[in-house]
Amino acid sequence: MSVNLTNHPIQRVEGTVMPVNSYLIEGPRGMVVVDGQLTVTDARAVRRVIDEHDRAVAGMILTHGHPDHYAGAAIILDGLSAPILATAGVAEVVRRDDAAKEGIVGPMMGAEWPTERRFVDEVVDAGATVHLGGLDFTVRDLGPGESGADTIWSLDDATHFIGDIAYHDTHAYLLDGHFDAWLALLRQLDIEIDAAATLYVGHGRPADKTVIGRQVDYVRAFLDAVSDSLDRDAAARRDRLLFLMELSIEPCATILAGARPA
């Protein structure tokens, strides 16, 4: 799905195999891509949108090192002289974990897993401002949070590309285990980010800063539910936590759809 956002020269391209966002920002001297999809199909979809614009690509920014944000980068940038930029922490996570991720995600995705993957070409210092396509992006290194190294890339005080620091109306990934650090970051950002800002999230529609508080509530609820099931074995814990949720999804969807105004 491709959605044009009217308030900014920014286009969101959401994957269909995996619902992850790539953003295409049109600058006066070229296009900047934020994050690079997980699968072959979705990466090719991003590249088609780029080709339709017929604009030079100045570079790709990676917000963090999870494969759904970088694995398709080589396909998106194939044949283009555009660098991939990230902080040292993000670059290290990508290189360190790529083989392990291939062993896990590759079999899950099958032919959709990109066999050729590009890593970071240019390391950007924390707090630095980089010039791409006639635009200035300032990067904030957040350290471990949702992933092993999270960053925010900002065009101004009201335009932030935050990766997976907060998800919007979708389940979150907590496997990396930096729960306390993630919650601390969210609380700090909730204080610091302007109420008028738009947060371009890695999963879901761009949102205002209320998405941060909702992410705090989600992480807490998830951890509390798991904590309450620690006395059970893995199979029993999974059954307890998933059973009622899976039974409830479609009935709730039917009720909510019927209550929606025509």
Computed over every residue of the chain, the mean pLDDT equals 93
Q: Which residue has the tokens 């496997």?
A: 175
Q: What is the mean pLDDT of residues 122-132?
A: 97
- Which pLDDT tens digit goes with each residue over 52-72? 998 899 999 999 999 999 999
CATH architecture of 2-226: 4-Layer Sandwich (3.60)
- Which pLDDT tens digit goes with each residue over 231-257? 999 898 888 888 878 888 888 889 888
- Which pLDDT tens digit goes with each residue over 150-203? 999 999 999 999 999 999 999 999 999 999 999 999 999 999 999 999 999 999
DSSP structural state of residue 117:
-
Distance CA 92, CA 8 (A): 32
| pLDDT at 230 > cutoff 60 | yes
Burial per residue of 132-151, b for 16 or more beta-carbon CB atoms within 10 angstroms, e otherwise: bbebebebbbbebbbbbbbb
| pLDDT at 2 > cutoff 80 | no
The domain limits of the chain are 2-226, 229-262
| pLDDT at 6 > cutoff 50 | no
* Percent of the chain's residues with pLDDT above 70: 96
pLDDT category at 8 given cuts 50, 70, 90 is low
Residues 6+ apart with CB under 8 A from 15: 21, 22, 37, 38, 39, 41, 42, 45, 68
Tell me if 116 sits within 8 A of 135, measured CB to CB.
no
DSSP structural state of residue 245:
H
Distance CA 28, CA 8 (A): 13
Q: What is the pLDDT of residue 262?
A: 61
Residue type, position 128, single letter = A
* Angle 120-201-217 from CA coordinates, rounded to 5°: 125
Q: What is the pLDDT of residue 253?
A: 87
| pLDDT at 7 > cutoff 80 | no
